[in-house]
């Protein structure tokens, strides 16, 4: 049974090939399916533009938490305007009430599939460059109070631009609490009462204990796990069951990277270990700090990503970001800094009103005689200072003499097989790239890897 036939059989109530959704999106074919949803390739009837459409399976659409979080995810992702985030174009519901989400159609493959084709380790500069591009997306998300909470290689997509160059895209933003849908198209996600919590191996200790109280530093933990996995091709925390994996995360100390792959620079080994500190107060406080630490190991292009991350207005206090959940964004509640601004503006407005009313009376009293009425005006001088993001540029550290930099830009994918159109929600596998030669891990950037094939 092929993918389309199977999809029709198990997904009655969803559109078929040829159907028009919302009066403008004509379904062309199924791109992927999972235990909780379906992804289609479609075309906008008027604009003639290809798109991806993600839908929840009918049997799950009646669960309020899943249906509402599906739409909330789209709203949150739409706020992050970055080329490194899969863009949400539209949302709506079918006539039978099933929610759908329209996303940009991505061509390429996710990082998980990309790495599987390499028999040897990925070049160090390539790994650092990929992660720094992903940090550009996270910096913008965190500045909006959005914490991803389900970062993993399959949610990092290596997409092809029209000119053949590559850009890293972060998928599936907006998931926050244990009662939300983490990834409707990932069968490996842990479930509790049919609602996904996340992916075990990449979850931070605080997310395991209480998913309601995680902040941006949970994403930094996940980035640390991704770095560890890409650099060593092993997982830092393992177990025979979900419970065993959780126990390993909460109790075990992972091996140092250099014990598995000696050519990893000691400074990079230390960066990854700091990301994996169980006490989140000992991790990097924000992605700007992490990008600054990774910059010396990156290529010239990767260092450009690090500079952009450092210029993004993210929280810089040691305690990390006071990130409010995605539903807070959607419900319209302002973050702490914005609430201070509103309070200050309100007090200033009252002071101005008092001044306008009282000042003319004072002038009249002076004209009529020595009698003067003294009025104590309310001012904003006693208010706490309003926190504002730092606008000063962050100076990146000089490159270490022991870590060579590779100056490059993303090249055309001339030597790769034609990419398969993928959905931003859950891409399917693409053809395995053939090796064209081996190069030193410290001398090859991601661009040369993508151009030259696999080892």
Catalytic residues: 150
In angstroms, what CA-CA distances link 451 with 168, 307, 425, 429, 444? 15, 25, 25, 19, 11
Locus of tokens 């209480």? 210
Q: Are 358 and 377 in contact (CB under 8 A)?
A: yes
DSSP calls for 133-202: HHHHHHHHHHHTT-------GGGEEEEEPTTS-EEEEE------STTS-S-TT-TTSEEETTEEEE-GGG
Residue 192 β-bridge partners: 195
Backbone angles phi, psi at 64, to 5 degrees: -55, -40
Please tell me the number of Cα atoms within 13 Å of 91 on its side-chain side.
16
Locus of tokens 């979850």? 203
Task: Single out the residue of 195, 226, 187 nearest to residue 211, CA to CA.
Answer: 195
Q: Are 183 and 199 in contact (CB under 8 A)?
A: yes
Write the CB contacts of 68 (distance below 8 Å, at least 6 apart in sequence): none
Question: Which value, to the nearest 10 degrees, does the dihedral of the CA atoms of residues 44, 48, 51, 56 take?
Answer: 20
DSSP calls for 146-157: -------GGGEE
Alpha-carbon Rg for the chain, nearest whole angstrom, is: 26
Tokens representing 99?
């929610």
Distance CA 229, CA 240 (A): 18
């Amino acid at each position: 049974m092929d993918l389309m036939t199977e999809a029709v059989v198990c997904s009655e109530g969803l559109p078929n090939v040829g159907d028009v959704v919302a009066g403008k999106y004509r379904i062309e074919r199924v791109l992927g399916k999972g235990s909780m949803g379906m992804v289609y390739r479609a075309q906008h009837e008027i604009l003639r533009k290809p798109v991806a459409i993600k839908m929840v399976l009918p049997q799950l659409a009646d669960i309020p938490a899943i249906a509402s979080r599906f739409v909330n995810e789209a709203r949150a992702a739409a706020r992050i305007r970055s080329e490194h985030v899969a863009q949400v174009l539209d949302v709506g519901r079918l006539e039978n009430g099933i929610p759908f989400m329209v996303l940009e159609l991505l061509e390429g493959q996710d990082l998980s599939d990309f790495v599987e084709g390499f028999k040897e380790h990925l070049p160090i500069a390539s790994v650092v460059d990929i992660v720094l591009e992903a940090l550009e997306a996270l910096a913008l998300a965190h500045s909006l109070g959005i914490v991803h909470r389900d970062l993993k290689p399959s949610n990092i997509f290596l997409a092809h631009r029209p000119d053949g160059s590559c850009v890293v895209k972060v998928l599936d933003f907006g998931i926050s609490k244990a009662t939300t849908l983490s990834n409707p198209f990932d069968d490996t996600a842990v479930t509790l009462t049919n609602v996904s919590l996340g992916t075990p191996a990449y979850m931070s200790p605080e997310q395991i204990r209480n998913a309601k109280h995680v902040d941006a530093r949970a994403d930094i933990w996940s980035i640390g796990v991704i770095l560890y996995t890409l650099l060593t091709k092993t997982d830092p925390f393992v177990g025979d069951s979900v419970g065993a994996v959780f126990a390993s995360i909460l109790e075990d100390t992972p091996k140092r990277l250099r014990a598995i792959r000696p050519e990893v620079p000691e400074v990079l080994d230390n960066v990854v270990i700091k990301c994996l500190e169980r006490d989140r107060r000992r991790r990097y406080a924000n992605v700007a700090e992490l990008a600054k630490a990774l910059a010396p190991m990156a290529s010239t292009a990767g260092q450009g990503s690090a500079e952009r991350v450092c210029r993004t207005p993210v929280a810089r206090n040691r305690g990390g970001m006071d990130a409010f959940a995605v539903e807070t964004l959607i419900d319209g509640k302002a973050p702490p800094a914005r609430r201070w601004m509103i309070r200050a503006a309100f007090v200033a407005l009252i002071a101005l009103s008092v001044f306008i009313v009282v000042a003319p009376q004072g002038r009249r009293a002076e004209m009529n005689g020595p009698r003067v009425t003294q009025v104590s005006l309310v001012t904003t001088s006693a208010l706490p200072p309003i926190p504002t993001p730092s606008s000063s540029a962050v100076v990146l550290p000089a490159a270490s003499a022991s870590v060579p930099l590779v100056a490059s830009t993303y090249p055309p994918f001339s030597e790769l097989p034609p990419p398969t159109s993928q959905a931003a929600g859950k891409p399917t596998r693409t053809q395995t790239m053939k090796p064209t030669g081996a190069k030193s891990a410290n001398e090859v950037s991601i661009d040369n890897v993508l151009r030259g094939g696999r080892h």
